[in-house]
Amino acid sequence: MTLSDTVYERLRADIVQGRFPPLQPLRLEQLKQQYGVGFSPLREALNRLQGERLVVSAAQRGFRVRALSVTEMWDAVESRILVEGEALRRSVEQGGDDWEAGLVAGFHALSLVVKRLGAGADAPALEELERRHREFHAALISACGSAWLLDFAGTLGTETERYRTLALRSATLRRDRDLEAEHKALLDAALERDADRAADLLEEHYRETGQFLEQVLGQGEAAALR
Amino acid sequence: MTLSDTVYERLRADIVQGRFPPLQPLRLEQLKQQYGVGFSPLREALNRLQGERLVVSAAQRGFRVRALSVTEMWDAVESRILVEGEALRRSVEQGGDDWEAGLVAGFHALSLVVKRLGAGADAPALEELERRHREFHAALISACGSAWLLDFAGTLGTETERYRTLALRSATLRRDRDLEAEHKALLDAALERDADRAADLLEEHYRETGQFLEQVLGQGEAAALR
DNA sequence: TAAAGCCATATTTTCGAAATTCTGGACAAA
DNA sequence: TTTGTCCAGAATTTCGAAAATATGGCTTTA
């Protein structure tokens, strides 16, 4: 693993988890201090992040964290529904035993951390929740057989993760929403090989999240979107 | 425009048009000579190309041109049908006067170069054809309103372009296929605001191209896929 | 003969200095 | 007052050398 790779991962995490707010200029001199590396690995990492649409750059004017907006959030959510919906359908149709095993394992791991959390949820616990959530959804579509769909799903996943971390800083999940039940229903539909129902549930799941995000972002953290 | 940008575009064109064959190692010293720049802009360009999946890299082992294969080609084609199909539907539903104007203009420009080509087609003429073809398809989906779908469509477009340029070097377009008619039908369906028909035609159009590519790649240029 | 260790060479990766380019404010002219 | 120009400071971009790492052939050993 090169220095570039390390710095890439650290920068990525710092952006996704909102430690660099949207639109913040990423000054090389400062990052050099912060991460303790030279210009070269920094610029390489930033160029790669540009490909994932986490940063933007203008010639001779350096890099900035990409902006967030409610409009853009809905675009990401709807695109995700399209891409992951199709990937899920294919997985349900083509997935083998190992796919099913991965699903069950992923759901169980997610349930455990959800229960453990209960009411109190500090930052590292939320990160763990986010990670297992991501892994469960990755497991759902893992047998789709398309590298491109998985690629796009990954990009959209980190994109929407930016909004989730932003929202969860100011609000806690609505009590009237039973996330565990939504995931359980998704798991059941997948195991029963009901592709249409699974895709519908996934669509519903993501739209709900979108509405939640819109609500929170609209009121509380509007400042963070500028 | 920085040196990085320039070198990025040149490298990109050289890969897409097959002047660097698949799997070819991209040695920095050689590229340095070839493009007359230092290491920094080269590595930045290569890192960005990695994000577009045109090159791959392994730590301490440099960069290579990404491989091509028939399997991967079909994945790209099918993903393209999904993404552009949805984008086209939305464009047909939401597109305004300027969208229609762009469509008609794009189709006309494409027809002109197709007619001018006739039988003889040298390399620069083929590049022009490819450009207008790309622009017509871009115009079709340009009013979809989704930055993400346009982004994915662009990536898949350059990916499939790699296969087209490879195939067109060894084979000429089948005579029994009337590309102009296919495009005309697509244009008509779009202008008549028949989203379903347009999407079906687009799907057909891309699948036909896929079969053509499979045929050519399977026999003639199989060596180029390794 | 086969396997393991080692060295010379080729290549990538990183650094810090130098060159280039932008920004914002002060000053002058209309 | 407004507009335009110029300059100093700040930031990005580029370069070439130095450090770190892989590769392939050679020798040694079992």
pLDDT at B171 over 70: no
Which nt is closest to the CA of A60, judged by C1'? D12
Domain boundary among A38, A65, A92: A65
The pLDDT of residue A178 is 83
| DSSP state letters, A142-206 | TTS--HHHHHHHHHHHHHHHHHHHHHHHH-PPPTT--HHHHHHHHHHHHHTT-HHHHHHHHHHHH
More confident residue, B121 or B164: B164
| Range in A67-71, A149-153, A219-223, B74-78 the model is least confident about | A219-223
Task: CATH number of the domain at B20, please.
Answer: 1.10.10.10
**Closest CB to B146 among A40, A48, A79:** A79
- Residue–nucleotide distance: A41 CA to C14 C1' (Å): 7
What single DSSP character describes residue B223? G
pLDDT in tens, A68-90: 999 999 999 999 999 999 999 99
The pLDDT of residue B107 is 97
Q: Which phi and psi (to 5°) does residue A189 adopt?
A: -60, -40
User: Quick count: other Cβ atoms within 10 Å of Cβ A201?
Assistant: 20
Shared domain for B33 and B112, answered yes or no, is no
pLDDT at B225 over 60: no
β-strand A55-57 against B25-26: which pairing, if any? unpaired
Q: Do residue B47 and residue A52 have CB atoms under 8 angstroms apart?
A: no
Shared domain for B24 and B81, answered yes or no, is no
What is the mean pLDDT of the segment spanning A176-200?
A: 93
- Residue–nucleotide distance: A62 CA to D9 C1' (Å): 17
Smallest CA–CA separation between A67 and chain B, in Å?
13
Question: Strand C: which positions are within 7 A of a protein CB?
Answer: 11-17, 21-23
Domain boundary among A21, A39, A65: A65
What is the mean pLDDT of the segment spanning B14-36?
A: 96
Q: Do residue A75 and residue B148 have CB atoms under 8 angstroms apart?
A: yes
What is the mean pLDDT of the segment spanning A103-117?
A: 92
What is the mean pLDDT of the segment spanning B112-118?
A: 83
Shared domain for B125 and B28, answered yes or no, is no
pLDDT at A123 over 80: no
Taking the CA atoms of A148, A54, B150 and A84 in sequence, report the sign of the dihedral they define.
positive
Shared domain for A61 and A86, answered yes or no, is no
Structure confidence at residue A169 as a pLDDT band (50, 70, 90): confident
What is the mean pLDDT of the segment spanning B188-206?
A: 98
| Range in A191-205, B87-101, B171-185 the model is least confident about | B171-185
Smallest CA–CA separation between A113 and chain B, in Å?
32
Residue B29 belongs to domain spanning: 3-65
Shared domain for A77 and A59, answered yes or no, is no
Shared domain for B82 and B165, answered yes or no, is yes
| DSSP state letters, B102-156 | HHHHHHHHHHHHHHHHSS---HHHHHHHHHHHHHHHHHHHTTS--HHHHHHHHHH
What is the mean pLDDT of the segment spanning B114-124?
A: 75
Structure tokens at A156: 């959209």
Shared domain for A157 and A203, answered yes or no, is yes
Q: Scanning every residue of chain A, which has its alpha carbon at the shortest distance from the alpha carbon of B156?
A: A148
What is the mean pLDDT of the segment spanning A210-219?
A: 89
Residue type, B179: L
How many angstroms from the chain centroid is the CA of residue A14? 14
Question: Strand D: which positions are within 7 A of a protein CB?
Answer: 11-17, 21-23
**Closest CB to A44 among B44, B83, B147:** B44
Number of independent structural domains in chain B: 2
The pLDDT of residue B119 is 60
The pLDDT of residue A225 is 55
What is the mean pLDDT of the segment spanning A127-154?
A: 96
Task: CATH number of the domain at A132, please.
Answer: 1.20.120.530
More confident residue, A64 or A222: A64
| Range in A70-84, A141-155, A206-220 the model is least confident about | A206-220
Shared domain for B109 and B208, answered yes or no, is yes
Alpha carbon distance B109, B111 (integer Å)? 6
User: Which residues partner with A57 through β-bridges?
Assistant: A63
Shared domain for B56 and B76, answered yes or no, is no
User: Strands across the sheet with B55-57, in order?
Assistant: B25-26, B63-65, B55-57
Alpha carbon distance B20, A57 (integer Å)? 28
The pLDDT of residue B110 is 94
Q: Give B3's contacts (C-beta < 8 A, 6+ positions apart).
A: B37, B41
Answer for A38: CB within 7 Å of strand C: yes
- Subset of residues 56-95 in chain A with CB less than 7 angstroms from any atom in strand D: 57, 59-63
Shared domain for B52 and B107, answered yes or no, is no
Structure confidence at residue A224 as a pLDDT band (50, 70, 90): low
The pLDDT of residue B172 is 66
Q: Is B89 on the interface with A (CB under 8 A)?
A: no
Smallest CA–CA separation between A83 and chain B, in Å?
8
Q: Which residue gives the smallest C-alpha to C1' distance to C12?
A: B60
What is the mean pLDDT of the segment spanning B142-147?
A: 98
Structure confidence at residue A124 as a pLDDT band (50, 70, 90): confident
Helix B3-16 with B28-35: angle, nearest 10 deg: 110
The pLDDT of residue B76 is 98
Domain boundary among B65, B97, B114: B65
Q: Do residue B2 and residue A47 have CB atoms under 8 angstroms apart?
A: no
Shared domain for B100 and B197, answered yes or no, is yes
**Residues present in chain A in total:** 226
Q: Is B146 on the interface with A (CB under 8 A)?
A: yes
Q: Which residues of A touch B44 (CB under 8 A)?
A: 43-44, 47
Q: What dihedral angle (degrees, nearest 10) is formed by the CA atoms of B189, B190, B196, B199?
A: 100
Taking Cα atoms as reference points, which of B137, B165, B161, B214 lies closest to residue B54? B161
Strands (E), chain A: 25-26, 55-57, 63-65
Question: In Å, what is the CA distance from A127 to each residue of A11, A17, A139, B98?
Answer: 16, 9, 18, 46
pLDDT in tens, A16-57: 999 999 999 999 999 999 999 999 999 999 999 999 999 999
Q: Are A74 and A214 in contact (CB under 8 A)?
A: yes
Residue type, A186: L
Q: Is B71 on the interface with A (CB under 8 A)?
A: no
Shared domain for B164 and B149, answered yes or no, is yes
pLDDT at B220 over 70: no
Q: Are A16 and A53 in contact (CB under 8 A)?
A: no
